[in-house]
């Protein structure tokens, strides 16, 4: 997507600007953006989660699929109601890979693509794992990360399709600790990784309805979306479809909100963010 914003007809006549949308390029976002590339009002670009947040904070996009922790770090944003990337138990694509028992971990390399997951690691270390490791930001290369630290946080497709035994030259066994499962163990609640957010004036109720419709149609097509996304890796397509169908939840209901607000409170108490703030939503 280029920087220009095309003008689109509005329902009441005249013209209104299009909506610049920053979406996450991972497989897990595909149900949320289903068909949006055919909507002339929406102009999509794809990035890693941390870049979606940076672009939104900079005003370079109007709506971003941002890491949930970034809601507390940007402007006065509104959230698109009922839409999220969440899990209620194992998520499969947000994990710590460790060469030793988690209680013995003294250093963790952190995937620079992530912001919410980094915050979640800090919360889980303090409240569940009871450790205080040195944290080091690095690119998501498991072998390099584990050559420098006891454990590594990796998110997204690299975590989902990671084969630790092949990805690290070390002969040490590598354990994958699923952070969605760890959060539910700690709280009994779902975890919300990302959602659509932007300035309150960015979307009309019609835009919100379009985004909800995209989600509703996308979640009905896990096999087709996985096959399209993983066209060049057919052996991973069944796992991709299972992941979209069983691991990722695309709704921001009452329990998800409860989990999100608890995460914000824990993050503030851990010093990850300065303060929490109420959840605000676009009108439907």
Among the listed residues 198, 114, 204, the one whose alpha carbon sits nearest the alpha carbon of residue 159? 114
Give the per-residue pLDDT at 59: 95
In three-state secondary structure terms, 66 is strand
Average pLDDT value over all residues in the chain:
90
User: What is the tens place of the pLDDT at every residue in 1-46?
Assistant: 233 233 233 333 333 469 999 999 999 999 999 999 999 999 999 9
The pairing of beta strand 85-87 with beta strand 191-198: antiparallel
In this structure, are 74 and 140 located in the same domain? Answer: no
Q: How far apart are CA 151 and CA 76, in angstroms?
A: 35
Range of the domain at 197: 17-85+193-244
Number of separate domains in the chain: 2
Do 98 and 182 belong together in one domain?
Answer: yes
What is the pLDDT confidence band of residue 149, given thresholds at 50, 70 and 90?
Answer: very high
**Domain assignment present for 265:** no
Residue at 4 is within a domain: no
Is 98 within a domain? yes
- Predicted model pTM: 0.90
235 shares a domain with 150: no
Q: Are residues 73 and 136 in the same domain?
A: no
Does residue 133 sit within a domain? Answer: yes
Same structural domain, 74 and 211:
yes
The verdict on residue 146 lying in a domain is yes
Q: Are residues 105 and 141 in the same domain?
A: yes
pLDDT tens sequence across 156-198: 999 999 875 544 445 568 999 999 999 999 999 999 999 999 9
DSSP label at 174? -
Q: Are residues 209 and 237 in the same domain?
A: yes
Same domain, 149 and 220: no
Residue 271 lies in a domain: no
196-213: pLDDT as tens digits = 999 999 999 999 999 999
Statement to judge: residues 56 and 100 lie in one domain: no
For residue 109, what is the domain's CATH number?
Answer: 3.40.190.10
In a domain, 269, yes or no: no
Predicted pLDDT at 15: 32
d(CA 185, CA 176): 16
Asked if 78 and 197 sit in the same domain, the reply is yes
> Is the same domain home to 56 and 80?
yes
Q: What angle do CA 230, 168, 183 make, to 5 degrees?
A: 70
Between residues 54 and 7, the one the model is more confident about: 54
What is the structure's pLDDT at 164?
A: 59
Q: Using pLDDT thresholds of 50, 70 and 90, give the confidence band for residue 114.
A: confident
Is the Cβ–Cβ distance between 174 and 165 less than 8 Å? yes
- The DSSP call for residue 126 is I
Is 249 part of any domain? no
For residue 31, the SS3 value is helix
Indicate the pairing of strand 151-155 with strand 107-111. parallel
Judge if 177 and 206 occupy the same domain: no
């Amino acid at each position: 997507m280029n920087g220009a914003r095309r003008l689109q007809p509005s329902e009441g006549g005249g013209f209104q600007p299009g909506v610049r949308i920053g979406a996450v390029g991972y497989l897990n976002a595909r149900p949320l953006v289903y068909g949006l590339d055919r909507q002339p009002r929406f102009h999509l670009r794809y990035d890693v989660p941390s870049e979606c947040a940076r672009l939104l904070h900079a005003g370079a996009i109007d709506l971003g699929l941002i890491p949930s922790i970034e809601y507390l770090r940007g402007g006065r944003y509104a959230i698109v109601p009922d839409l999220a990337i969440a899990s209620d138990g194992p998520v499969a694509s947000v994990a710590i890979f460790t060469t030793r028992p988690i209680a013995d971990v003294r250093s963790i390399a952190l995937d620079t693509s992530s912001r919410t997951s980094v915050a979640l690691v800090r919360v889980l270390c303090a409240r569940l794992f009871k450790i205080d490791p040195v944290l080091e930001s690095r690119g998501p290369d498991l072998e390099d990360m584990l050559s420098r630290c006891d454990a590594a946080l990796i998110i997204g497709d690299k975590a989902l399709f990671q084969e630790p035994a092949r990805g690290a030259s070390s002969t040490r066994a590598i354990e994958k600790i699923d952070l969605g499962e760890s959060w539910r163990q700690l709280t009994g609640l779902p975890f919300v990784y990302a959602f659509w957010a932007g300035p309150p004036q960015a979307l009309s109720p019609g835009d919100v309805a379009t985004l909800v419709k995209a989600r509703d149609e996308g979640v009905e097509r896990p096999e087709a979306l996985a096959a399209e996304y993983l066209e060049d890796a057919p052996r991973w397509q069944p796992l991709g479809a299972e992941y979209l169908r069983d691991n990722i939840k695309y709704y921001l209901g009452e329990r998800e909100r409860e989990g999100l607000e608890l995460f914000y409170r824990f993050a503030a108490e851990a010093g990850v963010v300065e303060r929490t703030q109420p959840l605000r939503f676009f009108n439907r």
